[in-house]
């Protein structure tokens, strides 16, 4: 549940809203944010509401948030409508998509089956991103950055530095450090060789909003080129829900069916599945690094509870690759899988 707090007078925020809404009778409530530096507010006027995003000043022509939003909208992806903006003040007023996330819809049910249709709606949106939006070449910022070996490797090392060396204080020997480094490089190099489409980058249940039975996508400003499995792992092996393999497999089948006209003639399901497991190691360990960093770097405890389940996903995927056994051994020897993180 989001937290709402009244916001006091602001020399930039209030004049912008008065101009945009042509009224001074609105109320502004702070919305509980995510782990980013962006700030969000709900603006209420009579029976209407909007969401105000506040970040750093920007140039509209090359602002990733607007660039990706416009490109996605052009290709049928449901994203919030921009109502007004003040680039010099870093303010963007958006359509209010409400508070019903896919995560909340998932946990509302006693079983996973009722959530299936909503996850299929989420797949419908990611199909548009991976295929029509990728084929529609434009000046979108998503085409200018990508998941390559270097970026994948940075993410994995972020997990190593903040979780293994940071929170767990695991002491790597010189040989173990090299062996883990070689494994990370191999994983990331293999992923880099996969075909690239536009990837949302954070396509999980907290970034998918349901309003009037329509699924909409938020938090897309970091979209970049990458393997299609990156977003699929983000959704099906999401740290915030506990999706079982049966439901995940049904959704993957649904994705492939919806994508069949876009898949190459030499598409290999075996290769797709291997890449999915490989991406699970990288993406889930990256998530562990993020959760650990919030505590390690700024003592934010909110995400510690997601570490055990996410680490189990990492270990499960590692077990599909005997050549990466040494990485699994480090997770065991460091105590990563058994640690009671919430007691830190």
Question: Do the Cβ atoms of 22 and 15 come closer than 8 Å?
Answer: no
Shared-domain flag, residues 11 and 148: no
| Helix, strand, coil percentages in the chain from 3-state DSSP, rounded to 5 | 55, 15, 35
pLDDT of residue 34: 61
Query: Measuring CA to CA, which residue among 66, 62, 55, 65 is closest to residue 88?
Result: 55
pLDDT of residue 255: 98
pLDDT of residue 265: 94
Q: Where are the beta strands (DSSP E) in 125-276?
A: 197-199, 208-211, 214-217, 224-226
CATH of the domain at 114: 3.90.1200.10
Shared-domain flag, residues 241 and 121: yes
Shared-domain flag, residues 218 and 143: yes
Cα(147)–Cα(153) distance, integer angstroms = 10
Query: Measuring CA to CA, which residue among 220, 185, 215, 214 is closest to residue 202?
Result: 220
Among 95, 110, 145, the domain boundary falls at 95
- Maximum pairwise Cα distance, the chain: 66
Question: Do the Cβ atoms of 164 and 336 come closer than 8 Å?
Answer: yes
Q: What is the pLDDT along the chain (344 residues), one digit of tens a residue?
A: 344 444 444 667 889 999 999 999 999 998 976 656 789 999 999 999 999 999 899 999 899 999 999 999 999 999 999 999 999 999 999 999 999 999 999 999 878 999 999 999 999 999 999 999 999 999 999 999 999 999 999 999 999 999 999 999 999 999 999 999 999 999 999 999 999 999 999 999 999 999 999 999 999 999 999 999 999 999 999 999 999 999 999 999 999 999 999 999 999 999 999 999 999 999 999 999 999 999 999 999 999 999 999 999 999 999 999 999 999 999 999 999 999 998 88
Question: Do the Cβ atoms of 79 and 218 come closer than 8 Å?
Answer: yes
Residue 240 lies in domain = 102-343
Shared-domain flag, residues 88 and 137: no
Shared-domain flag, residues 171 and 299: yes
Helices (H), 61-142: 64-74, 102-108, 116-130, 132-135
pLDDT of residue 6: 46
pLDDT of residue 37: 75
What SS3 class is residue 199? strand
Cα(342)–Cα(308) distance, integer angstroms = 10
Cα(300)–Cα(297) distance, integer angstroms = 8
Q: Write down how long the chain is.
A: 344
Rg over CA atoms, the chain: 21
pLDDT of residue 5: 46
Shared-domain flag, residues 59 and 181: no
pLDDT of residue 143: 98
Neighbours of 229 (CB within 10 A): 24
Cα(126)–Cα(143) distance, integer angstroms = 16
Task: Count the domains in the chain.
Answer: 2
């Amino acid at each position: 549940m989001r937290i709402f707090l009244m916001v006091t007078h602001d020399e930039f925020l209030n004049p912008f809203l008065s101009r945009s809404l042509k009224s001074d009778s609105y109320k502004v409530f702070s919305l509980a944010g995510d782990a980013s530096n962006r700030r969000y507010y709900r603006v209420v006027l009579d029976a209407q509401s909007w969401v105000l995003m506040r970040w750093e000043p920007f140039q509209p022509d090359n602002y990733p948030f607007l660039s990706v939003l416009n490109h996605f909208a052009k290709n049928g992806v449901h994203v919030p409508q921009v109502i007004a903006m003040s680039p010099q003040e870093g303010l963007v007023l958006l359509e209010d998509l409400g508070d019903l996330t896919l995560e909340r819809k998932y946990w509302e049910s006693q079983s996973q089956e009722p959530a299936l249709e909503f996850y299929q709606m989420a797949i419908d949106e990611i199909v548009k991103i991976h295929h029509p939006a990728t084929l529609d070449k434009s000046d979108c910022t998503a085409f200018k950055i990508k998941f390559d070996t270097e970026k994948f490797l940075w993410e994995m090392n972020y997990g190593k530095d903040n979780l293994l060396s940071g929170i767990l204080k695991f002491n790597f020997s010189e040989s173990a450090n090299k062996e883990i480094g070689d494994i990370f490089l191999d994983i990331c190099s293999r992923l880099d060789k996969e075909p690239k489409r536009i990837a949302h980058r954070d396509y999980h249940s907290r970034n998918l909003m349901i309003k009037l039975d329509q699924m909409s996508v938020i938090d897309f400003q970091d979209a970049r080129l990458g393997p299609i499995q990156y977003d699929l792992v983000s959704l099906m092996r999401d740290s915030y829900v506990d999706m079982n393999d049966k439901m995940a497999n049904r959704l993957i089948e649904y994705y492939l069916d919806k994508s069949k006209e876009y898949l190459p003639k030499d598409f290999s399901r075996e290769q797709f599945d291997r890449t999915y497991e490989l991406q699970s190691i990288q993406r889930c360990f990256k998530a562990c690094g993020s959760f650990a960093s919030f505590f390690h770097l700024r003592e934010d405890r909110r995400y510690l509870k997601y570490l055990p389940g996410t680490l189990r996903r990492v270990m499960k995927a590692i077990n599909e690759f005997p050549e990466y056994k040494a990485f699994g051994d480090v997770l065991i020897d460091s105590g990563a899988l058994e640690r009671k993180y919430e007691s830190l």
